[in-house]
Structure formats: C-alpha cells, structure tokens
Amino acid sequence: MKPKVVVVLGARPQFVKHAAVHQHLSSLTDEILVHTGQHYDAQMSDAFFQQLDLGEPKYDLGVGSGSHGVQTAAILRETESVLDNERPNMVLVYGDTNSTLAATLAAVKLRIPVAHVEAGVRNNDLSIPEEVNRVLTDRVSQFLFCPTQTAAEYLRVEGLADRAFVTGDVMLDIFLGSKTRALQAGAKLMSHLGLKEEGYLLVTLHRPSNVDDPDDLENVLKTLCKSGRTVVFPAHPRTSKVMRDTGLMTEFEDEPNLKLVEPLDYLSFIGLAYHSAGIVTDSGGVQKEAYFMGVPCTTIFDETPWPETLQGGWNVTTGQAPDKILQAIGRSRPNGLRGQAFGDGRAGVKVTQIIAQFLGKVT
Ligand code: UD1
C-alpha cells in the first residue's frame, strides 16, 4: 500500500505551488487533496485545478471568508475530522495562509508529521497576518522546505536548521514548465484586449493595507492612471468588492488608460506578464514571477519577503507614495543578470524525494 499524504490547499497561490510537487508526488503516494474553500470562486479556484492538472479535491471544506479567527478555527475543526478519518502518514502544507496554519495545528496535535513548503520566509513584521502563520507553522513542522538560502538562514537563527532543506522555489518549476503554453495564452489575450508588446503595465492588488481603505486604493489607481501607460488590472475579488461597494468601480470604469478585467487563469496571467512593459503588484508570488521572467516589478508595499528580487533593480518597493510609484514605473529597464537564488526549477522533485525517503519509498 502506498503511504498516504493529505495535502491541504486553500488559496490561489497554493494551487500554483502544489502543481510543482503534485506531478512527482502523486505517483508515489496516495495523495488526498483537501480544499479548505478559503478561495472559492471559479476564477480563483476551479480554473487552477483544471489548468494545472491537480485533479479533484477529495474534500471541499467550504469554509469561505470570515475574520482570521473564524476562518482559522473553522479550517482547524474541519481538517481535524478529515485527518481523523484518513489517518495519513503526513500532512503537506504551503505558504502562509490561514489554511496553512490551521491544517498544521490540526495535524501536529494528532501527532501527524507536517511538511511545510515555502518555509523560512520572513518579513520580520508580526503585524502582517501571514508572518504569524509562517512563524508558527515552521515552529511545529517536521520538514521545512526552503525556497532560498535567505529562508534557510532565518530558520538557522530561529534554531530550526536541523529540519530545514533548501530545495529552491516550487513556483519556478511550474513557471518554467508552463512557459510555452503561457506565451501562447498571453498572445491570444493581448490581441483580444488590443494590447501591444511592452505597451502596457500589468497590475495586481489585493493586500488589505492597499485595498481595504477605499481612499488608499483610489490614490494608488489614480497614480497608475497618471503613468501615461495602459494599465491592465485583473482585480482580485477582495479588491473588486471594495470597488463595487464604494463607487470606485464606476469612477474607474470609464478611465481610458485602465482596463479592468476579471482575475486571469494562470497561463493567461503569466503570458500577459511576459509581454508587459512592467508589473505593478503587492502579491508575494507575482514579485518572484516577474523576477523569473526578467520583467521590471514595482511593489506597492514597504518591504518584500523576497529581498533577492531587489538586486539589480529588478524589483523596487514603493509603499503608496505617488512620487515613488511613478518614479519606479518610469525607471529604465534593468539590464543586470538575475541570480539563481530561487534554485534550478527542480524544487518539486527535491521535496518529493525527501518526503518519499521519510515515508519509506526511496526514489
Ligand atoms: C498572498 C498571501 C497569501 C494570501 C494570498 C491571497 C503573502 C506573502 N501571501 O499570496 O497568504 O492567501 O495573497 O490571494 O502575502 N495569478 C493568476 N491570475 C491573476 C493574478 C495572479 O493566475 O489574475 C497567479 C500568479 O501568477 C501567481 C499567483 O496567482 O502564481 C499569486 O497569487 P496571489 O493571489 O497574488 O497570492 P500571493 O500574494 O502570492
């Protein structure tokens, strides 16, 4: 009988990350997918399961939105009953969401070992909810898979070096493997939206500190519209809700430079990003993807959990100050080399090998 691994996923970036491990792990183990329902609409969830060949989740916990406490508690309770039912040999979690922390707590209290992919990432700021999730998850997980040396160094300082493995970043694997299909999807979408090669900025915004206060969001969007570029903005559901509820949607709908679109599927997003003049984002994952593809990135946040991307000017953090944002967008294209900080695109294999060895399935 194959060893059983329960994989708990809840949000868009986790679907992308698991795709890199799933392609290796699923043949060696009995892989049981649990979808917590943190991201539930078709564009943020179903599209990713289909496009990334993740199969169907066996369990859909349907937890949905809620305050941090309500959401984390609901996922903890529901995951515990799944784990009681399945009795897996291991639980696998990704990143830093409430699903990550809740599933980890459920597992460790049942004495089931947890493997955490994207371990050791730090902002050094516990006021960021994701930072709390990362620190606590790392503290009690048995396998800590680090995307970079920087992450491994944080774990060493925290006394967790004996559980840490530098595997590289799983997002790089899936990015490299999807390049051809993404470029095709991007070209198709460009023609549909009437966009020219490097003639537009691609923007994503969803962090509470940028979008929950409509005044902040309005200022950022007004600043982007002043850039003189066409701005393509696939709005995250959190962001479009704020825009609809506060009249910002009506205000920006007729803005000639701004193309507001629904959240994109993975291949279309990566393809459109490739062909853009620059990316403006507050997403953790998108900053890395910009770096992988060599497109200049402007990050609307005061700091980044990915300091490697700042080297050579590929990424610049601006906060919300309009002059800083415009200056960063207008900077000339960096021409320095990008390093190998995120590994060699084989992180998924490395994670799988370590898990398989532990579970007695030597690869
Ligand atoms: C962040 C949080 C995470 C939270 C999530 C909510 C950090 C470090 N992490 O992750 O805890 O759960 O936001 O969304 O703050 N993409 C598309 N289509 C789009 C836009 C993006 O496919 O229209 C893809 C990108 O290519 C990338 C992934 O989605 O692979 C990034 O997801 P994103 O929602 O931006 O999450 P993060 O900021 O990485």
Q: Give me the DSSP letters along 53-70.
A: T----SEE----S--HHH
In this predicted structure, the answer to whether residue 211 has a pLDDT above a threshold of 50 is yes
Nearest CA to ligand 1 atom 35: 283
Task: Give me the amino acid identity at 12.
Answer: R
Closest CA to ligand 1's atom 22: 266
- What tokens were used for 321? 């100050």
Q: Phi/psi class of residue 111: alpha, beta or left (left: φ > 0; alpha: ψ in -120 to 50)?
A: left
Q: What whole-number distance in Å separates Cα of residue 149 and Cα of residue 157?
A: 12
DSSP state of 313: G
Pairing outcome for strands 297-299 and 278-281: parallel
Helix boundaries (H) for 120-203: 129-140, 149-157, 170-193
Considering the entire predicted model, what is its pTM? 0.95
Q: What does the pLDDT read at residue 206?
A: 96
- pLDDT of res. 363: 47
Cα–Cα distances (Å) from 9 to 32, 217, 244, 294, 342, in that order, read 11, 29, 28, 29, 22
Locate 118 and state its tokens: 């994207």
Is 271 a pocket residue for ligand 1 (Cβ < 6 Å)? no
Per-residue model confidence as pLDDT tens digits over 249-270: 999 988 999 999 999 999 999 9
The more confident residue out of 66 and 195 is 195
Buried b or exposed e, range 251-274, using 16+ CB within 10 angstroms: ebeeeeebbbeebbbbbbbbbbbb
Confidence of residue 337 (pLDDT cuts 50, 70, 90): confident
Residue 84 Cα to ligand 1 midpoint, Å, equals: 30
Pocket of ligand 1 contains residue 308 by CB under 6 Å:
no
Look at residues 351, 360, 290 and name the one whose alpha carbon lies nearest to residue 143. 351
| pLDDT per residue as tens digits for the range 15-36 | 999 999 999 999 999 999 999 9
Question: Does 131 have pLDDT greater than 60?
Answer: yes
Residue labelled with tokens 């920006």:
252
Which residues, listed in sequence order, are joined to residue 9 by a DSSP beta bridge?
A: 35
**What confidence tier does 39 reach under pLDDT thresholds 50, 70, 90?**
confident
For ligand 1, whether the C-beta of 263 sits within 6 Å is yes
- Split at pLDDT 50, 70, 90, the class of 361 is low
- pLDDT tens digits, one per residue of 264-292: 999 999 999 999 999 999 999 999 999 99
Q: Smallest Cα–Cα separation from 207: which of 313, 284, 111? A: 284
**What is the structure's pLDDT at 288?**
97
More confident residue, 146 or 44: 146
pLDDT at 277: 97
